[in-house]
Amino acid sequence: MSLRHPFRIIRSHLRAYLVINLAAYGLVILGMVIGLVFPDLNAARSAALEDDGTGALVRDLVSTPPLFALAILAVNIVRLGALTIILPSLVVPFSGLALFAFWALQTGITLAPASAEAAVALIPHSLTIIIEIQAYVVLALGAFLIGRYWIDPRTVGASRRRAAYARGLQHIGVLALPALALLLIGALWEAYSLRYLVHPLTELLL
């Protein structure tokens, strides 16, 4: 398989790709606005992360960037990529897109810079958001395509839904490669920026 194959798929479905991009980043930004306007929602999301152990896990791992990056990568691949976007879409067409949209809105609320410290931390973390959301957008495109092909097999030149579904699976597999690369880059940046950039920036700016 050529390394250009994922980009050919994206170019062939550029309108859907751009719409998913607009929706994903737009929902994160909307969530941030909601979190700023309604700080109780932001506080509730932070409390939920503490209650489920995420906050404690981050504090335990942040001092060891390689291990922290591995944990981030595993969570992003399994919980977000597989369980939120891909697997639901294989069972119910487009359901992964709805779950991804809900996650993007919640993420924006969680990341709303409700304090000066949070605003400073968002400076390096904004790049993490851009990279990781882009990975999910690529996976979401695959989820969209498998739903579209299943509903109307003619869009992929198939006469039966089974053949169209198989083509959608193939496209998801191809698109997973750049998505995994982006998630790896995002995990490394997130782990090392939290360890080495946030504290110096806080000391410098506050």
Distances (CA, A) of 32 to 36, 41, 134, 143, 153: 6, 10, 18, 26, 39
Q: Let me know if residue 113 belongs to a domain.
A: yes
Helix axes 161-196, 198-205, angle to 10 degrees: 50
Segment 65-74, tens digit of pLDDT? 999 999 999 9
Instruction: Give the domain range for residue 152.
Output: 5-197
Q: What is the pLDDT of residue 2?
A: 59
CA angle, corner 190, sides to 96 and 178, nearest 5? 50
Q: Let me know if residue 109 belongs to a domain.
A: yes
Segment 119-142, tens digit of pLDDT? 999 999 999 999 999 999 999 999
Name the token pair of 181. Answer: 């690369």
Q: What is the pLDDT of residue 188?
A: 97
Q: Which residues contact 71 (CB under 8 A, 6 or more apart)?
A: 57, 61
Q: Let me know if residue 172 belongs to a domain.
A: yes
Segment 57-103, tens digit of pLDDT? 788 889 999 999 999 999 999 999 999 999 999 999 999 999 999 99
Domains identified in the chain, total number: 1
Q: Which residues contact 95 (CB under 8 A, 6 or more apart)?
A: 88, 89
Residue 54: band (very low, low, confident or very high) from pLDDT cuts 50, 70, 90: confident
Segment 133-168, tens digit of pLDDT? 999 999 999 999 999 999 888 888 777 888 888 899
Q: Let me know if residue 205 belongs to a domain.
A: no
CA angle, corner 33, sides to 27 and 39, nearest 5? 125
Question: Averaged over 105-125, what is the pLDDT?
Answer: 93
Q: Let me know if residue 74 belongs to a domain.
A: yes
- Tell how far CA 61 is from the center of its chain: 21
Q: What is the pLDDT of residue 60?
A: 85
Give the chain's end-to-end CA distance (angstroms, integer). Answer: 50
Q: Let me know if residue 105 belongs to a domain.
A: yes
Q: Let me know if residue 203 belongs to a domain.
A: no
Q: Let me know if residue 18 belongs to a domain.
A: yes
Answer whether residue 35 shows pLDDT above 70: yes
